[in-house]
C-alpha cells in the first residue's frame, strides 16, 4: 500500500468514518542499522538494542527495536492509510494510550492497522482518534497498540 492507495476522504466525511477500519500499511523492516540510528538520536543505547553479542544471551536472543522506534513509524504508516482532502494542515496532536506488548527483534517486519475511533470538532478543524495496532510479521502479539490523535485543519 502507498500514500496513493490511502483511503481518500474530505474533512466533512471524517465523522462518518468512526468505527471504520482503514486497512494495513506496507510492511517495514526494522533492521539493526535503524535501531542503532534511533539509539543515537535518542541516547538510548541499552545493550538489548545495540549490543548484538550480549543480546544473544539476553531474554530475547537478539537485539530488539526500541518501543518508541516502532511508535515513531506512525507518520510513515498513517499517510499510507488515510488522506484527508482539503486539509491544509495535519498535526500529530499526541497519544491517549500506548502499550508495547511484544518486542521487535532486529530484522523483523512490522505494519500498522488502524481504525477511526473518534472524530470531534476543534477550532478550525477536527481531531481524529485512531486506534492503531502494530503487528510483527508471523508473531501472535502486536509490537505496539496505541490511541493516536491527529488534528486536521481547514
Q: Are 77 and 109 in contact (CB under 8 A)?
A: no
The chain-wide mean pLDDT, for the chain, equals 95
Per the structure, the complete domain to which residue 129 belongs is given by: 3-27+66-153
Distances (CA, A) of 143 to 99, 131, 135: 8, 14, 6
What mean pLDDT do residues 44-63 have?
Answer: 97
Q: How many independent structural domains does the chain possess?
A: 1
pLDDT at 137 over 80: yes
What mean pLDDT do residues 58-76 have?
Answer: 97
Domain annotation covers residue 34: no
Domain annotation covers residue 11: yes
pTM equals 0.91
Domain annotation covers residue 13: yes
Q: Are 36 and 43 in contact (CB under 8 A)?
A: no
Amino acid at each position: 500500500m502507498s500514500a496513493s492507495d490511502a483511503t481518500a476522504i474530505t474533512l466533512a466525511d471524517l465523522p462518518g468514518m468512526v468505527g471504520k477500519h482503514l486497512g494495513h500499511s506496507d510492511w517495514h523492516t526494522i533492521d539493526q542499522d535503524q535501531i542503532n540510528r534511533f539509539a543515537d538520536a535518542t541516547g538510548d543505547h541499552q545493550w538489548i538494542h545495540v549490543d548484538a553479542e550480549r543480546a544473544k544471551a539476553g531474554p530475547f536472543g537478539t537485539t530488539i527495536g526500541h518501543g518508541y522506534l516502532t511508535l515513531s513509524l506512525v507518520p510513515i504508516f498513517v499517510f499510507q492509510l488515510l488522506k484527508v482532502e482539503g486539509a491544509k494542515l495535519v498535526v500529530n496532536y499526541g497519544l491517549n494510550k500506548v502499550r508495547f506488548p511484544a518486542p521487535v527483534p532486529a530484522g523483523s517486519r512490522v505494519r500498522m492497522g488502524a481504525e477511526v475511533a473518534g472524530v470531534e470538532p476543534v477550532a478550525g478543524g477536527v481531531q481524529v482518534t485512531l486506534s492503531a495496532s502494530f503487528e510483527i510479521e508471523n508473531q501472535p502479539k502486536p509490537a505496539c497498540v496505541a490511541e493516536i490523535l491527529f488534528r486536521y485543519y481547514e
